[in-house]
Amino acid sequence: MSAADETVPLTAWVSSDTETQDERHLRELAALGLCNRCPIRQACLDYALAEEPLNIWGGMTAAQRRDLLLDRRRAASAKPVEPARIPVTELDLRVLRALAGHRSQQMVARAAGMDVTRTNWHRSRLVTFLRLDPRTATRMDLLRAGLGAGLLDGGVFVLVDRRRLIAAVPSRQASVARSRGVQLVLPGLERFLNGSSTGRASVSVMPQRSTGLLAA
């Protein structure tokens, strides 16, 4: 018999293949009534959800626990997964502070203590971190987002734009590479074209490895 109610047998929480539907219904009502008064009901349910697929645990039948697990899985799959954020480094913050006080790429790079290429790379990282669209986000969009995320001090001086300046500056190397074809560089060609050399531009020819066959 149950310690909480002598009229309820210990087998009330265990399902049986031989019981009728009415017997099962009465058994479950008795067991669930005691579960609802149990002080460790939640702990019992948490254990059963992970370990026990059968019988009554934590105030729920096996079918009720299966439904609960399915509902939790549906809710978890429906929740949008946020992309992992890249970590913001001190160099990123240095570029962001420099960008607040300057507009031109050269001045931003000088204030950040880097070259232009490196500075623009950090600007692109910040655009990604703050989840801005690199195709449309402006310098002011980036600064406002940085202020909102706490990456910039609220009292920092911001030089306001008079026109739209793109936040993530496209790589010049990539644009140049797309516009140029394959180039052949000849040693001494530049001096020859500039008239500083009176002779022909020398062309280096790599010797070919012998195949061991003589031409007829």
- For the chain, what are the domain ranges? 10-78, 90-173
Q: State pLDDT tens for residues 10-24.
A: 778 888 888 888 888
**pTM, entire model:** 0.43
Q: State pLDDT tens for residues 46-73.
A: 888 888 888 888 888 888 899 998 988 8
Fold classification of 90-173 (topology level): Arc Repressor Mutant, subunit A (1.10.10)
Instruction: State yes or no: pLDDT of 117 exceeds 80.
Output: yes
Q: What is the DSSP string of the chain?
A: --SS-TTS-GGGGS--SSS-HHHHHHHHHHHHHHHTT-TTHHHHHHHHHHH--SS-BTTB-HHHHHHHHHHHHHHHHHSPPPPPPPPPPHHHHHHHHHHHH--SHHHHHHHHTS-HHHHHHHHHHHHHHTT--TTT-BHHHHHHHHHHTTSS-TT------SS--BSSPPPHHHHHHHH-------TTHHHHHTT--SSPPP---PPPPP-S----
